């Protein structure tokens, strides 16, 4: 834990009184209308500077010219099939990225819409893998105020200045949105963000005597696997009249029938009004998507109460040809402050014509007495029940489990959002308050911790409903059980005690004593029982042993939280990139552990799968197969996830040295943190297979794996020779984790083998890399072999996170971390940018390649986590604060809510909106280790493994957990299928 006095003397990072005067804050001190003290803040008139993308040096360009040509050819080939390549460095968005982002809308996995801090709706990700960055400027909130006596009136869009997309000059006869009142200056209006909520406070703008707070709420609620999937958000306006006259206030919510880009012009879109229960009413906007993608329906709504009257305009357009123009709509609101009640009975509109923009509006009007207060609530929801990937696979989104598959579910979502948001807020505050009220933590850390979670909504997440409960899948499972019962049976001696895990709904004791094996052949298949010389190792599959249908049904009901995908980044379109998930997964483990366990199960199944189709690897131009059995895939795919893995094709990742150890480490961490024994049993065959697969890379028999003189790890432009600090440390940690897990699952032979290898590899690692103060980058003789790598103790990070004994002496761990802090952190602009990946011992940045000279945001958070676990809290927070200073502070580069993978020392970014910065939750994990780990016996688990007489490599005859090796159908009822 952080000691109480480390940050006690620090000034509050973002004092709210510097943004809003105290009198205004006091006026909003009810109904959660006042923004919290711990929030990220901006004035609405802040300059949103354009962001600068990185560029390679001349020498880097020369080295990558052949790769560039091959990527160009591949991008064109994919485009010819109507697909977007997962990595495309040649195509740039027409909307240049700028420092305008804010808290995104909605829950996880149902498509996302971001909202800039100045109010614009942007970053549309409704279609999987497609991000439309430009804002849709017709989507706005506006306000109309008139006072008794009629001598004062105000009308303004609640967004400051001349927004992009409106043009620099407003024509007198313009019938579009530039005819609206863009009158807000923004000088006295502020934005406050604490994901998943945001507050915009208009302190006397546009009416000097009216204070307005808009609170944006989305249902991101940890451990709630229902409402966190809902595509909905609420905007609660709190109005305070400080004048002496009664004020009529009308708030207007306008929305275009669009999913971003030019989709509003494609035609065939329909709007219709609706009236629901509990005073909720609004407009449904049915959007007909192009290219065969599933349709989308939006709902904009408001809640009518005793004091609030709601009216709608189901249809208006942006051109003079429209029956009701944007200008006509605005004039109606200025004059009347509401629309005609007859509009509710107008029915569905005619489908829009190509080139026509179809918009809708909802108005909520109320009277606010002198010195009185009033609340007006709007909701936005969208329903796109089907997810369709570009190679044809379709799934139902998670929320359809609760709302059905009709597009009209948007109406129910909008209704429930308006009637349930107060409970959402209670749950959110209950989750956040212990951290926010912890005075030992710096303010910047508190709101950056929560705000980095934006990625779980805006990172292209897909959350599908599990197909397991459907009758046809249940029947299929029965058939598979019968087939397994008829296969060859052997008896092994094994007893595994199952204890209730973190999310287990039951406690059972079972004896696992049956082994099944079948055989089948296919280009895409699962593991084979026994030794496969071609692919090395015993790649057998073990799973739960009782195999009764009743237990299977219970398992489905208990674990059915669907399947979850998230992109590596909006520029690197690959689902669940595993070497990056290694860093980001702490957020899911902390907040949605059942999702995290399911992702691990998906990868466990993938380890035991092979896809023999040929792939060309672009770095070297050679060919190989898409997925090798025993190798952990780089990702779960792009165009057909779960079924076509390894969309990444720069290098052959079956030869990467970090993926398999990372899988073993993540599985053990999750196993230790949740105490879920059934999860351990499920994934153990893949853990063994992953470890056995790596034996081929120990070429000199010293127990260590060696790198192969190319970038064969997550730093995929940074070449490694021989033993490396990064991969070698991961391997040592994986040996220890596999030994510990084997012991707990009763596989003592394997535990002994891993321990024996560990005891052999550890001294070899230290002998080859330890130089007295840190571990050298690698054991080669290149110019950067003695570089100080920030990430050199990644394996120790996971070892300490899992409650395992340290890999090295405490003095060596602290010495290496101190070296990283003194050189990689503090020698780069005084520690105000994070940790640079590589630094020469002479204090100069390692410029061997693009990645060695970069600062990786997620790696910096990971290094800080390792420091916390090593008792170096002050250095940890100083290290991580550099990411805040450069990325989130007002004096930084403007990367808030789009934290990139990397930036250079001059602040140029690479890959905005990236997965890895979620590793800040590794810091929180380190500060509050799970109870299961804290309560675990303190005895060194490696000391409990007693070595028998010497044996050779990994054993191929198992004892311990019962295994089912069903080659053709080892994926059972999961959404993962071997066949393509």
**HSE on the CB side for 913, CA within 13 Å?**
31
Please say whether the beta carbons of 31 and 373 come within 8 A.
Answer: no
E strand or H helix at 414? helix 409-436
pLDDT score of 16? 66
Q: What is the CATH number of the domain that holds 853?
A: 1.50.10.10
Report angle CA 285, 289, 291 to the nearest 5 degrees.
Answer: 175
What single DSSP character describes residue 805?
P
Residue 801 lies in a domain: yes
Tell me the C-alpha distance between 333 and 665, whole Å.
60
Radius of gyration of the chain (CA): 29
Residue 476 lies in a domain: no
E strand or H helix at 495? none
Please say whether the beta carbons of 630 and 536 come within 8 A.
Answer: yes
Tell me the C-alpha distance between 498 and 746, whole Å.
12
Burial status of residue 556 (CB atoms within 10 A of its CB: 0-12, 13-18, 19 or more): middle
Residue closest to 114 by CA, chosen among 918, 917, 912, 924: 912
pLDDT score of 971? 32
Going by DSSP bridges, is the β-strand pair 524-526/509-510 parallel, antiparallel, or unpaired? unpaired
Tell me the C-alpha distance between 888 and 39, whole Å.
12
- Out of 395, 410, 437, a domain closes at 437
Tell me the C-alpha distance between 971 and 978, whole Å.
7
Report angle CA 437, 670, 577 to the nearest 5 degrees.
Answer: 95
pLDDT score of 164? 52
Residue 427 lies in a domain: yes
Tell me the C-alpha distance between 788 and 426, whole Å.
46
Long-range CB pairs of 610-613 (<8 Å, 24+ gap) are 610/524, 610/525, 610/526, 610/535, 611/523, 611/524, 611/644, 611/645, 611/646, 611/980, 612/523, 612/524, 613/523, 613/524, 613/980
Tell me the C-alpha distance between 205 and 215, whole Å.
16
CB atoms within 10 A of CB 951: 12
Range 754-789 burial, b when 16+ CB lie within 10 A, else e: bbbbbebbbebbbebbbeeebbbbbbbeeebbbbbb
Give the 3-state secondary structure of residue 23.
Answer: helix
Residue 524 lies in a domain: no
Report angle CA 610, 689, 708 to the nearest 5 degrees.
Answer: 80
The alpha helices in 313-377, defined as continuous H runs, are 326-336
Residue closest to 54 by CA, chosen among 916, 714, 717, 904: 904
Q: What is the CATH number of the domain that holds 344?
A: 2.70.98.10
Bridge-partner residues for 972, per DSSP? none
Residue 702 lies in a domain: yes
Burial status of residue 366 (CB atoms within 10 A of its CB: 0-12, 13-18, 19 or more): buried
Give the 3-state secondary structure of residue 632.
Answer: coil
Q: Which range marks the domain in which residue 677 is found?
A: 560-935
For 419-485, give the secondary structure using H, E and C. Answer: HHHHHHHHHHHHHHHHHHCCCCCCHHHHHHHHHHHHHHHHCCCEEECCCCCCHHHHHHHHHHHHHHH
Going by DSSP bridges, is the β-strand pair 359-368/247-256 parallel, antiparallel, or unpaired? antiparallel
**pLDDT tens digits, one per residue of 18-70:** 778 888 888 888 778 899 999 999 999 988 888 999 888 888 888 889 999 99
**pLDDT tens digits, one per residue of 832-878:** 999 999 999 999 999 999 999 999 999 999 999 999 999 999 999 99
Tell me the C-alpha distance between 252 and 352, whole Å.
23
What interhelical angle do 857-869 and 794-801 show, nearest 10? Answer: 50
Please say whether the beta carbons of 710 and 619 come within 8 A.
Answer: yes
Report angle CA 778, 780, 783 to the nearest 5 degrees.
Answer: 90
Going by DSSP bridges, is the β-strand pair 514-517/964-965 parallel, antiparallel, or unpaired? parallel
- Out of 422, 437, 452, a domain closes at 437
Give the 3-state secondary structure of residue 799.
Answer: helix
Bridge-partner residues for 872, per DSSP? none
pLDDT score of 291? 84
Please say whether the beta carbons of 609 and 627 come within 8 A.
Answer: yes
Range 269-300 burial, b when 16+ CB lie within 10 A, else e: bbbbbbebeebbbbbbbbbbbeeebebbbbbb
Report angle CA 254, 255, 256 to the nearest 5 degrees.
Answer: 135
- Out of 381, 415, 437, a domain closes at 437
Tell me the C-alpha distance between 33 and 212, whole Å.
9
Residue 320 lies in a domain: yes
Tell me the C-alpha distance between 105 and 114, whole Å.
6
**pLDDT tens digits, one per residue of 717-732:** 999 999 999 999 999 9
Shared-domain flag, residues 420 and 565: no
Residue closest to 3 by CA, chosen among 873, 590, 713, 928: 873
Ranges of the chain with pLDDT below 70: 1-17, 94, 161-173, 467-559, 950-953, 955-980
The alpha helices in 38-197, defined as continuous H runs, are 58-63, 65-80
pLDDT score of 77? 92
Shared-domain flag, residues 571 and 425: no
Give the 3-state secondary structure of residue 310.
Answer: strand
Backbone dihedral angles phi then psi of residue 909, each to the nearest 5 degrees: -95, 160
Tell me the C-alpha distance between 137 and 153, whole Å.
24
Give the 3-state secondary structure of residue 872.
Answer: coil
The alpha helices in 651-717, defined as continuous H runs, are 659-674, 677-694
Tell me the C-alpha distance between 431 and 303, whole Å.
27
Please say whether the beta carbons of 452 and 917 come within 8 A.
Answer: yes
Report angle CA 618, 621, 623 to the nearest 5 degrees.
Answer: 95
Please, what sign has the CA dihedral across residues 472, 473, 474, 478? positive
pLDDT score of 148? 81
Please, what sign has the CA dihedral across residues 826, 830, 836, 840? negative
CB atoms within 10 A of CB 744: 19
What single DSSP character describes residue 35?
P
For 98-118, give the secondary structure using H, E and C. Answer: ECCCCCCECCCCECEEEECCC
Tally of helices (H runs) and strands (E runs) in the chain? 22, 35
Beta-strand runs (E) in 373-418: 373-383, 386-388, 394-396
Please, what sign has the CA dihedral across residues 119, 98, 863, 732? positive
Shared-domain flag, residues 565 and 431: no
* Predicted TM-score (pTM) of this structure: 0.89
Domain count, the chain: 2
Give the 3-state secondary structure of residue 341.
Answer: helix
Tell me the C-alpha distance between 333 and 742, whole Å.
70
Give the 3-state secondary structure of residue 626.
Answer: strand
pLDDT score of 549? 38
Does the bond joining 206 to the residue before it have cis omega, within 30 degrees of 0? yes
């Amino acid at each position: 834990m952080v000691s109480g006095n480390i940050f006690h003397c620090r000034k509050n990072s973002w004092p709210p009184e510097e943004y809003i005067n105290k009198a205004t804050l006091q006026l909003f001190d009810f109904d959660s209308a006042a923004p919290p003290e711990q929030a990220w803040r901006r004035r609405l008139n802040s300059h949103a500077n354009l962001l600068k993308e990185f560029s390679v040096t001349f020498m880097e360009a020369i080295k990558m010219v052949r790769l560039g040509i091959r990527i160009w050819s591949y991008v064109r080939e994919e485009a010819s099939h109507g697909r977007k390549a997962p990595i495309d460095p040649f195509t740039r968005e027409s909307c240049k990225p700028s420092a305008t982002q804010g808290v995104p809308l909605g829950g996880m996995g149902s498509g996302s819409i971001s909202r800039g801090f100045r109010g614009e709706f942007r970053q549309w990700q409704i279609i999987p893998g497609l991000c439309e960055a430009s804002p849709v400027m017709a989507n706005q909130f506006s306000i109309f105020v008139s006072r008794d006596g009629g001598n004062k009136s105000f009308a303004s869009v609640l967004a400051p200045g001349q927004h992009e997309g409106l043009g620099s000059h407003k024509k007198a006869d313009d019938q579009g949105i530039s005819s609206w009142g863009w009158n807000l200056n923004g000088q006295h209006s502020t934005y406050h963000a604490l994901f998943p909520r945001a507050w915009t406070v208009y302190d006397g703008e546009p009416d000097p005597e009216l204070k307005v707070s808009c609170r944006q709420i989305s249902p991101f609620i940890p451990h709630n696997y229902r409402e966190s999937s809902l595509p909905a958000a609420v905007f609660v306006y709190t109005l305070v009249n400080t004048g002496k006259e009664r004020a009529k206030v009308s708030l207007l919510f306008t929305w275009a029938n669009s999913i971003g880009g030019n989709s509003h012009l494609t035609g065939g879109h329909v709007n219709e009004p609706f009236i629901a229960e509990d005073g909720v009413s609004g407009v449904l906007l049915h959007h007909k998507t192009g290219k065969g993608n599933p349709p989308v329906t939006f709902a904009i709504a408001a809640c009518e109460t005793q004091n609030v009257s709601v009216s709608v305009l189901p249809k208006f357009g942006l051109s003079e040809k429209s029956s009701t123009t944007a200008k006509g709509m605005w004039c109606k609101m200025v004059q009347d402050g509401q629309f005609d009640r007859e509009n509710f009975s107008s029915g569905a509109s005619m489908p829009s014509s190509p080139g026509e923009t179809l918009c809708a509006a909802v108005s909520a009007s109320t009277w606010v007495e002198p010195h009185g207060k009033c609340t007006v609530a709007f909701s936005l929801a969208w329903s796109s029940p089907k997810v369709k990937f570009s190679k044809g696979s379709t799934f139902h989104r998670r929320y359809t489990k609760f709302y059905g598959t009709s597009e009209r579910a948007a109406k129910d979502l909008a209704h429930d959002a308006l009637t349930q948001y107060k409970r959402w807020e209670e749950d959110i505050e209950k989750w956040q308050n212990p951290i926010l009220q912890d005075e030992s933590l710096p303010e910047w850390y508190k709101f950056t911790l929560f705000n980095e979670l934006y990625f779980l909504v805006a990172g292209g997440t897909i959350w599908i409903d599990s197909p397991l409960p459907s009758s046809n899948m249940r029947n299929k499972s029965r058939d598979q059980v019968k087939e397994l019962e008829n296969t060859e049976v052997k008896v092994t001696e094994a007893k595994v005690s199952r204890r209730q895990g973190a999310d287990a709904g039951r406690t059972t004791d079972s004896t696992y004593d049956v082994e099944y094996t079948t055989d089948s052949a296919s280009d895409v298949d699962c593991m084979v029982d026994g030794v496969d010389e071609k692919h090395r190792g015993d790649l057998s599959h073990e799973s739960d042993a009782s195999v009764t249908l009743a237990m299977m049904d219970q398992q489905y009901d208990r674990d059915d939280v669907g399947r979850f995908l998230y992109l590596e980044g909006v520029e690197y379109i690959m689902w669940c990139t595993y070497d990056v998930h290694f860093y980001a997964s702490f957020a899911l483990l902390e907040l949605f552990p059942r999702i995290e366990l399911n992702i691990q199960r998906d990868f466990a199944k993938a380890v035991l799968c092979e896809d023999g189709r040929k792939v060309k690897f672009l770095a070297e131009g050679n060919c190989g197969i898409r997925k090798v059995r025993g190798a952990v895939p780089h990702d779960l795919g792009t165009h057909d996830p779960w079924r076509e893995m390894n969309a990444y094709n720069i290098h052959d990742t079956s030869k990467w040295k970090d993926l398999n150890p990372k899988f073993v480490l993540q599985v053990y961490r999750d196993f230790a943190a949740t105490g879920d024994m059934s999860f351990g049993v499920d994934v153990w065959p893949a853990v063994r297979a992953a470890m056995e697969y790596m034996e081929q890379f120990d070429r000199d028999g010293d127990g260590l794996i060696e790198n192969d003189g190319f970038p064969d790890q997550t730093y995929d432009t940074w070449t490694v020779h021989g033993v490396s600090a990064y991969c070698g440390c991961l391997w040592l940690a994986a040996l220890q984790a596999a030994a510990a897990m084997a012991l707990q699952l009763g596989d003592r032979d394997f535990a002994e083998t891993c321990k024996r290898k560990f005891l052999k590899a550890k001294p070899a690692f230290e002998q080859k890399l330890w130089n007295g103060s840190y571990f050298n980058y690698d054991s080669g003789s290149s110019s950067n072999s003695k570089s100080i790598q920030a990430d050199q103790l990644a394996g120790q990070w996971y070892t300490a996170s899992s409650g395992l004994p340290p890999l090295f002496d405490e003095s060596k761990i602290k010495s290496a971390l101190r070296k990283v802090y003194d050189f990689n952190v503090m020698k780069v602009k005084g520690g105000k940018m994070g940790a640079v990946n590589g630094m020469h011992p002479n204090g100069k940045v390692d410029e061997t390649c693009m990645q060695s000279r970069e600062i990786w945001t997620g790696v910096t958070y990971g290094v800080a986590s390792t420091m916390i676990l090593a008792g170096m809290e002050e250095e940890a927070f100083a290290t991580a604060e550099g990411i805040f200073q450069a990325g989130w502070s007002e004096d930084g580069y403007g990367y808030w809510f789009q934290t990139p993978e990397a930036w250079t020392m001059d602040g140029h970014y690479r890959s905005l909106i990236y997965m890895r910065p979620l590793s800040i939750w590794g810091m929180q994990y380190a500060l509050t280790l799970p109870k299961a780990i804290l309560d675990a016996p303190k005895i060194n688990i490696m000391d409990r493994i007693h070595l028998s007489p010497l044996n050779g490599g990994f054993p191929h005859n198992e004892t311990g957990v019962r295994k089912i090796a069903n080659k053709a159908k080892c994926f059972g009822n999961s959404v993962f299928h071997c066949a393509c």
